Structure 1
Amino acid sequence: MTPAELHNDSIVIDGLVIAKWNRELFEDMRKGGLTAANCTVSVWEGFQGTVNNIVATNALLAESSDLVLPVQTTADIRRAKEEGKTGIIYGFQNAHAFEDQIGYVEVFKRLGVGIVQMCYNTQNLVGTGCYERDGGLSGFGREIVAEMNRVGVMCDLSHVGERTSTEVIEASEKPVCYSHCLPSGLKDHPRNKSDEELKFIADKGGFVGVTMFTPFLRAGVNATIDDYVEAIAYVMNIVGEDAIGIGTDFTQGQDHNFFEWLTHDKGYARRLTRFGEIINPKGIRTIGEFGNLPEALLRGGFSESQVRKIMGENWMRVLKDVWGE
């Protein structure tokens, strides 16, 4: 089987996309052969702002129903594959939209939200992000984790502080994930995860999606698709071939104002970080170039079965564990 045939035959899941929502993006997802993607609908927004985002995105999905379909179950992802469409999973990068209401977890689940990151870089009512002193998972946060387990929403820890992450991993009865991260063993950065953190989440039944966001890759903006494969190999060596997948963190189509909003606490307060130039690795600059990844993985020494697992099979299994269907 050629790399192109392998890509076309595989279930391809991107564990994190925070790109600009429009038909052009959906067309690129089809060009790249994406079966499904976890697409961010909330970062700093509260309950009402997040509902507004979902309403707007629902309308976009309806207008492009020839290209995309909403996902609530893994059966929906399989249907997307059969119909030649991309399944859209709604995800949060911050539990802030739950505000102080545990009942909002189920409300958002019914609106299609399947993955929620507990904190985005800073403190919220649940716990602490990776850019400030980590106070750990709050008592309220434990209740939120339990409710996410109950209704079937996956806990994401990509931008979460180490102590809070450890306590979520220990508190959750369902698998949790780093949907989009890189190893600090290749580049020391507050957003990257240590070998110990990667091993701990995998040992507890969790999952790691590897990002290609170049500010966190060893080669930075000079990175190529082979540098991304190096990072995947590094992580897989720690977590094993069944606990790893893709979470690109594609920001396709976003402008300067978006990154300013993203990199300030609450979207407007203190500056948390500077990304510098935002450019994806050469060879996979856009979502439309996703088809280049299986060939790069095979070239990097991965077997065909490992490529299938990394491209999406592992995500399917862990999502079914969490969602229950």
Structure 2
Amino acid sequence: MRKRVIYLFVSILLSIPVDFHAWIVTGQEEDVTSIHANSVIVDSHIDTLMKVVDPDTWLPVTDIGKETNFEVDIPKMQAAGLSVPFFAAFTSGFYDNNPRSISNTLASINALYWIEKNNTDQLEVTSTFTEIQAAIEKGKIAAVPTIEGAYSLEEHNAIELIRQYDDLGITAIGFTWNYSNALGEGADRVYNDPVSTPSGDGLTELGVEVAEEMNRIGMMIDVSHMAERTFWDVMEVSKAPVIATHSGVNALRNHPRNLTDEQLLALAENGGVVGIVFYPQFLTDDREAMVSDIVDHIDYAVNLIGIDHVALGSDYDGAELPNDLKDASELYKITEELIERDYSVKDIKKILGANTLRVLRDVEKAADPDQMNKGKSPTIIPAYEMGEMMDSRTPLFTAKLEQEEGHAIDIASLRIIVDGIPYEPEFNEQSSLVSLQMNDVLKERFHVVTVEAADETGRINRETRIVWME
């Protein structure tokens, strides 16, 4: 049955109760339109933010709230019923230039918040299972920020910076792109230097530390783009389920970016999920592919590891697509092919989104319940907004602290963290202003700044913003 239907986003709301398990009920749907429209559709890897930012300035310039020539924009997601897109902040790493990798990563994250600001009625940045549910119930697209290529994380900044990324809503991090880095070995098993120096095997000590911290704060580890040894090291270290956001099945297409049967079985034993990629090079030995090739990979993975561990991870706007899938608006063709292969409604809903959301929920449950002993007091009011331009390369960062009557601010706890580096700020008790004058010139354009304070009970509150400079 070949139905070319434009699915109104609001139709996806008709059967979404609060209970997670109700998101995958079988129901009585009989055709592609009703099954697709009544599913919560998640895509665990989309590269559109690369196209939103200007390649020279890294400032956001294209608002995807309107029709674009991209494979993903808000109208296309609404047409597809794509309610939970994972938007990747991608960087391939800049050789021997960690500050530039930080800036590049933050530029994409900033672009997602800029998109939200321009389209508040249609899209909301979300990072937790509860926030995703709430956004969908309000009729909004729940945009999930992720990172592809953690080249911004090095020995001097990794743990503090990953906490700042957590503040910004980053839900999953892929340690490597194809190149290796301070966390581990990438799929190409070389560093991004002028001579492509071969890299060491597997996860580094810093990579182990980062994986453990991500488990602690409830952030998903993305194992796509890892060298196989790095994958196995992560599986040994991680106490929480992991996700392969956009990978294929190696048994069907022998490629370093695809997962072997042994890897897929380990992923299932871990409780994780693989998002099947749409990129023809990972699907078939031919130069071209069709939607049926995507579902061939889904079939193989389901038969090998079970229906609960397979999902979608398109790589929209980051790779070519099958010939019969022009953009995100045609996602219904995946549903159509699954129906033709006699998948049940319940199982289709799992593949379309429920499996990925289940892993997110399980990762959150496995996290440290205290998560840095976070609190809500004192209230921190930075003097700058998210995405604000600073007028100096040696800026003065300030924030006002407001405490409830009868409670004291622990002055010794005050910190301002810039790009993963903590500083001891000044504090004016009369004005309740905390401030940090940067003496070192911030050479790159984008930076992330966190103001952290605690009350006398030790409960910590943080406010984190991305800022940029001319």
Give the shorter-chain TM-score range.
0.7 to 0.9
1:292 matches 2:333: yes
1:113 matches 2:113: no
Give the C-alpha shift of residue 91 in structure 1. Answer: 0.7
Report the residue type matching 1:7 in the other structure.
H
SS of residue matched to 2:213: helix
Tell me which residue corresponds to 1:84.
139
Which of 73, 81, 103 aligns to 1:48? It is 103
Contact 1:42–1:97 (8 Å) recurs in 2: no
Q: Which has the higher strand share?
A: 2
Tell me which residue corresponds to 1:197.
263
What pairs with 1:1-325 in structure 2 (closer than 5 Å)? 1=29, 2-19=31-48, 20-21=51-52, 22-23=64-65, 24=67, 25-44=73-92, 46-100=101-155, 101=157, 102-132=159-189, 135-218=201-284, 220-251=286-317, 279-324=320-365
Report the residue type matching 1:38 in the other structure.
F
Contact 2:92–2:179 (8 Å) recurs in 1: no
Give the C-alpha shift of residue 238 in structure 1. Answer: 1.5
Contact 2:105–2:152 (8 Å) recurs in 1: yes
SS of residue matched to 2:226: coil
SS of residue matched to 1:81: helix
5+ unaligned residues in a row in structure 2: which ranges? 1-28, 53-63, 68-72, 94-100, 190-198, 368-470
Give the C-alpha shift of residue 90 in structure 1. Answer: 0.8
- After superposition, what is the alpha-carbon deviation per residue over 1:283-324, rounded to whole angstroms, capped at 9, x for unaligned? 322011112221111112211111010001111110011134
- After superposition, what is the alpha-carbon deviation per residue over 1:93-134, rounded to whole angstroms, capped at 9, x for unaligned? 112122332111111011010000011112111100111155
Q: Distance in 2 between matches of 1:180 and 1:27?
A: 23
User: Greater shift after overlay, 60-69 or 117-126?
Assistant: 60-69
Q: Distance in 2 between matches of 1:16 and 1:69?
A: 17
Contact 2:92–2:178 (8 Å) recurs in 1: no
Q: Distance in 1 between matches of 2:346 and 2:175?
A: 32
Tell me which residue corresponds to 1:272.
none
Q: Distance in 2 between matches of 1:322 and 1:168?
A: 15
Give the C-alpha shift of residue 57 in structure 1. Answer: 2.3
SS of residue matched to 2:249: coil
Give the C-alpha shift of residue 62 in structure 1. Answer: 1.1
Tell me which residue corresponds to 1:265.
none
Report the residue type matching 1:97 in the other structure.
S
SS of residue matched to 2:325: coil
Q: Distance in 1 between matches of 2:41 and 2:188?
A: 31
SS of residue matched to 1:98: coil
Report the residue type matching 2:36 in the other structure.
H
SS of residue matched to 2:296: helix
- After superposition, what is the alpha-carbon deviation per residue over 1:146-194, rounded to whole angstroms, capped at 9, x for unaligned? 1111111110011000011101011011111111101111111111111
Contact 2:44–2:314 (8 Å) recurs in 1: yes
SS of residue matched to 1:5: helix
- After superposition, what is the alpha-carbon deviation per residue over 1:193-221, rounded to whole angstroms, capped at 9, x for unaligned? 11111112212222211111111111644
Tell me which residue corresponds to 2:415.
none
Contact 2:112–2:125 (8 Å) recurs in 1: no
Q: Distance in 2 between matches of 1:134 and 1:180?
A: 24
5+ unaligned residues in a row in structure 1: which ranges? 255-277
Report the residue type matching 1:29 in the other structure.
M
Report the residue type matching 2:332 in the other structure.
G
Q: Distance in 2 between matches of 1:280 and 1:27?
A: 19
Q: Distance in 2 between matches of 1:246 and 1:80?
A: 20
SS of residue matched to 1:69: strand
Aligned length, in residue pairs: 300
TM-score with structure 2 length normalisation? 0.61
Measured on the aligned residues, the alpha-carbon RMSD in Å equals 1.7
Contact 2:47–2:90 (8 Å) recurs in 1: no
- Name which structure has the greater RCO, CA cutoff 8 Å, separation 6+: 1
Q: Distance in 2 between matches of 1:174 and 1:220?
A: 37
Q: Distance in 1 between matches of 2:287 and 2:267?
A: 28
Q: Distance in 2 between matches of 1:137 and 1:67?
A: 40
Q: Distance in 2 between matches of 1:301 and 1:99?
A: 48
Report the residue type matching 1:109 in the other structure.
D
Contact 2:124–2:142 (8 Å) recurs in 1: yes
Q: Which has the higher helix share?
A: 1
Give the C-alpha shift of residue 55 in structure 1. Answer: 2.1
Q: Distance in 1 between matches of 2:235 and 2:210?
A: 13
Contact 1:29–1:287 (8 Å) recurs in 2: yes
